Amino acid sequence: MAGTLSIRVITPERILLDSTCASVSFPTVDGSVGILSGHAPMVAAIGVGELAFKTENGAEESVFIAGGFAEVRDNTVRIVTDTSEPASEIDVERAVEAAQRARKRLEQYESNDGEKLDVLRARTALARALMRERIAKKRR
Amino acid sequence: MAGIKELRVRIKSVGNIKQITRAMEMVASTKLRRFQDRAIASRPYSMEIAGLVARLSSMLGDDVSDQPLFNAGKGTRTLVLFISSDRGLCGAYNTYLFKELEQWLAGRPNAAETDFFVYGRKGAQYLTARGYNVKRFITDPPMEEIDHRTAALTGRMLVDEFETGEYQDVHLVSTGFESMIKYNPRIEPFLPLTPESLGGGEDKAVSADTILEPDANTIFESLVPRYLETRIYSALLESLTSEYASRRFAMKNATDAATDMQKELKSIYNRKRQEKITMELLDIVGGAAAVK
């Protein structure tokens, strides 16, 4: 595998991640992309999902992200996001609860023609919760 | 002797005040540290976002003028987001802000056509008392509980106002925190976005063949609100940090002054007390001599 990339994940509270890796993949709003060293410069809007990266010795790690932006430049992947948690920090119980809550809400809204915004909100909440749960379980 | 009794009361009341100011100093110190940590922690994020906006807009070049927030509004009025403090007893913190604002307004042709969005009760009081048009006094949530979400709401509000076309520009008046003893009021243009206000050019321009995913407009649409909210958030945090730094300093001065005063009063009190004893002694000695 040629070369390495540096990766930085920056949230308003802290710099979540600052390390080097062999490859990175993250979800954009239009689907997942993978980045290797030497990638062309890119700016992307991030969707909800898993930011996965392979360290130089082959170990895989993943981080939950929702929203934000990624910038690829000079072999550096910089991710600025509001919501991000490494797999080890995800509160699985909370995620499961949140998923249930979102499902219930979704049923309720859809059955009695709730407002579009509410439906949308419940849906994104559900997507976030499920993704958190999946990432957390995968890495344990 | 009345003088002595009065002195004793004064010494005591100075001591009470000293206790209060010292407690306030302590509280301000802790809060200062908390806000400072938050301000520092959020700095990389806001720098990154600002850098991204600057690079993207320099990359798009003239195309950014299609974006509504990059053009001055059609109106003639100016909107100002004014960040002051809720409480007093923080030294000259608010005074500096007001002075800076007055100076700035004096140099503007449309000073009379300025509307204010205000954070902090002190600022609202000042502006209302002087007949400025306070359009909105933001109290919910209280300043000290600000987070990104509420900063985003404020940002949204400002953008909405700007988009009505009534305003030509929006400015941000806050206090920048440089160090524990250095904080300066500052007035910055907020909207419309211009290459200068974005600090474009500090970073090397990105090559034009950068891949944009999904496309420039979509990215801009979600990036710009994020950028504005980050600016409000960090302005609030820095102002709060400065407020507490200023308050701590003021309270420290007050405590020191109280200590000095107490010392002085005590020495006067002791001298008077001794004088009184000496007089009494003299009386007794004199009386005894007379009896002999």
pLDDT tens, B92-106?
899 999 999 999 998
CB neighbour class for B143 (10 Å; exposed up to 12, middle 13-18, buried from 19): buried
Query: Do residue B62 and residue B117 come from a single domain?
Result: yes
Q: Mind listing the pLDDT tens digit for each residue in A96-127?
A: 888 888 888 777 777 766 677 777 787 788 88
Q: Which residue has the higher pLDDT, A94 or A1?
A: A94
Q: Do B263 and B222 share a domain, yes or no?
A: no
Are B143 and B182 in a shared domain? yes
Same domain, B135 and B274: no
- Is residue B140 domain-shared with residue B12, that is, in the same domain? no
Q: B143 and B240 in contact (C-beta within 8 Å)?
A: yes
Residue B255 and residue B133: Cα distance in Å, rounded?
38
CB contact under 8 A, B44 and A10: yes
**B152 shares a domain with B279:** no
CB contacts, 8 Å: B223 with chain A? 45, 69
Q: Using the beta-carbon criterion (under 8 Å), do B214 and A28 form an inter-chain contact?
A: yes
Can you give the CATH number for the domain in which B104 is found?
A: 3.40.1380.10
Question: Which tens digit of pLDDT belongs to each residue from A55-90?
Answer: 888 788 888 888 888 888 888 898 988 888 887 777
Span B116-159, pLDDT tens digits: 999 999 999 999 999 888 888 988 777 888 888 888 888 888 98
Q: Average pLDDT over chain B, rounded to whole?
A: 86
* Residue B201: pLDDT band with limits 50, 70, 90: very low
Does residue B282 share a domain with residue B158?
no
Looking at the structure, do residues B146 and B121 belong to the same domain, yes or no?
yes
What's the domain range around B284? 2-17+252-291
What's the pTM? 0.81
The reply to whether B82 and B182 lie within a common domain is yes
Residue of A14, A69, A74, A84 to mutate, testing the B interface (most B Cβ within 10 Å of its Cβ): A69
Q: Where are the alpha helices (DSSP H) in chain B?
A: 2-60, 93-106, 121-129, 148-163, 216-291
**Which residues of B fall within a CB distance of 8 Å from A13?**
41-42
Residues B7 and B45 in one domain: no
For chain B positions 36-95, those within 8 Å of chain A (CB to CB) are 41-42, 44-46, 48-49, 52, 55-56
The pLDDT of residue A5: 87
Same domain, B238 and B217: yes
Taking CA–CA distances from A79, the nearest residue in chain B reads B48
Which residue of A12, A33, A80 is in closest CB contact with B52? A80
Nearest-angstrom CA–CA distance, A29 and A67: 9
B245 and B286, same domain (yes or no): no
ipTM value for the complex:
0.76
**Minimal CA–CA distance to A78: which of A128, A114, A44, A36?**
A44
Percentage, residues of chain B above pLDDT 90: 41
How many structural domains comprise chain B?
2
